[in-house]
Amino acid sequence: MSDASRAAAAPDGQRPRRPTKDELLAAAGKTVPDLIKPDLTVLFVGINPGLYTAAIGHHFGRPGNRFWPALFESGFTPRLLTPCEEAELLSYGLGLTNLVARATRAASELAADAVRTTLEDPEFGFTGLHAAAAVADTLGTGDTVLLGASNPVRDASWVGLPFDGVDTYAPRGAAGIDGSVSQAVGVALATQAAHPDEPRAPRTVALLGDVTFLHDVGGLLIGPNEPHPENLTIVVANDDGGGIFETLEIGAEPLRASFERAFGTPHGASICELCAGYGVAHREVTSLRELLDALMDTTEAPLGLSVIEARTTRTTRRALHRALQGKIAL
């Protein structure tokens, strides 16, 4: 569509006023009325209003939102409507609502809030999701994070990652668990090489499952004449096996008899001794509090390459996911 037709489609006076920063912040929790009537042809359902939308009180209000151009260019509306003209949709048999009515900064924050509340329930023990929350909560602007395949990358998105100011890497292309220790080392080396003038190397944190870590534990071996990561913390969420499979069909009660051997694959490996063998610092933690403390320590004094082994449980994973799904319809 040409600029001219865009301009014509949005007559002066029908553009929403740009809210101030204070108005944006005050919009959290506000709602935008549904645009709905009986016998609509199509009801469009958003996830939840963003702050800009809630501040101006019109659906899909942020400038640059693709909703209104998409409606026009796909023929739903005869011209490009501005958010202020949303009421006109009803005359075309179109309506608007949201899955969740209240506004938040990003859709992911809804999940992140619900997850934090659920994690406070002691019934679930200390899980990989707790570990992801601790990692997310101790990342600072300028840090880099690498998320292993399997639960870590999924857990990270439950707790609100990625977010601005933190470069986030995830080997999701092939969804493989292989090579992740080496990738973490590579990312940390590249990150420190990109900031040679900083008084200390930028912090990189990797969150990996235990099977993922063990699959590439040889990546800890770095020759004495090779560059070493100056500030890399690898958090291993050790639930002694493939926790992700607990949440799939195969983890259901009727199939438990063969589950552990075929899918759980517990190994009982000593990550502590493996680290010692490679000369890598290792610290074990058994609770969220301890993990937070250990992570905070790494923000104060980098230990080169170090491993924090979080002794997590996967036995509550299924129940945990059920509890979360009950709260988050995303």
Ligand X SMILES: Cc1ncc(C[n+]2csc(CCOP(=O)(O)OP(=O)(O)O)c2C)c(N)n1
Q: Which residues are near Mg ion by CB under 5 A? A: 209-210, 239, 243
Q: Judged by CB, which is closer to ligand X: 99, or 175? A: 175
149 counts as binding ligand X under rule CB under 6 A: yes
Please give the full DSSP string across 70-104, using - where no structure is assigned: HHHHTTSSSS---GGGGGGGGGGTEEEEESS-B--
Question: What is the signed CA dihedral for 115, 121, 124, 130, rounded to 10 degrees?
Answer: 50
Kindly tell me which residue out of 177, 274, 307, 323 binds ligand X, with binding defined by CB under 6 A: 177
Provide the mask over 103-142, with x wherever binding to ligand X is found by CB under 6 A and - wherever it is not: -------------------------x--------------
Task: Give the residue at shortest CB distance from ligand X.
Answer: 209
- How far CA 146 is from CA of 73, 130, 251, 264, in Å, comes to 39, 17, 27, 24
Numbers of helices and strands, H then E, in the chain: 13, 8
Q: Which two tokens stand for residue 91?
A: 């005359």
209 counts as binding ligand X under rule CB under 6 A: yes
260 counts as binding ligand X under rule CB under 6 A: no
Of 211, 106, 232, nearest to 159 (Cα)?
106
The partner in contact with residue 161, picked from Mg ion, ligand X, none with C-beta cut-offs of 5 to 8 angstroms by kind, is: none
248 counts as binding ligand X under rule CB under 6 A: no
CB of 176 closer than 8 Å to CB of 127: no
The one segment of 76-84, 203-211, 226-234, 288-296 that binds ligand X by CB under 6 A: 203-211
Tally of CA atoms within 13 A in the half-sphere of 118 that contains its CB: 25
Q: How far is the CB of 29 from ligand X (least distance, A)?
A: 34
Q: Judged by CB, which is closer to ligand X: 86, or 210? A: 210
Q: How far is the CB of 153 from Mg ion (least distance, A)?
A: 13
230 counts as binding ligand X under rule CB under 6 A: no
Q: How far is the CB of 38 from ligand X (least distance, A)?
A: 47
Q: Judged by CB, which is closer to Mg ion: 21, or 261? A: 261
The amino acid at residue 220 is L
Q: What are phi and psi of 139, to 5 degrees?
A: -80, 140
Kindly tell me which residue out of 104, 108, 144, 150 binds ligand X, with binding defined by CB under 6 A: 150
Q: Judged by CB, which is closer to ligand X: 86, or 239? A: 239
Q: Which two tokens stand for residue 72?
A: 């026009």
Q: Judged by CB, which is closer to ligand X: 111, or 149? A: 149
- How far CA 247 is from CA of 125, 151, 161, 238, in Å, comes to 16, 10, 21, 16
216 counts as binding ligand X under rule CB under 6 A: no
Q: How far apart are CA 213 and CA 241, in angstroms?
A: 11
Q: Judged by CB, which is closer to Mg ion: 209, or 251? A: 209
Q: How far is the CB of 299 from ligand X (least distance, A)?
A: 24
211 counts as binding ligand X under rule CB under 6 A: yes
Residue 27's contacts (CB-CB under 8 Å, 6 or more residues apart) are 19, 51, 52, 54, 55, 103
The partner in contact with residue 233, picked from Mg ion, ligand X, none with C-beta cut-offs of 5 to 8 angstroms by kind, is: none
User: CB 278: neighbour CB atoms within 10 A?
Assistant: 16
Residues that bind ligand X (CB under 6 A): 128, 149-151, 175-178, 209-212, 239, 242-244
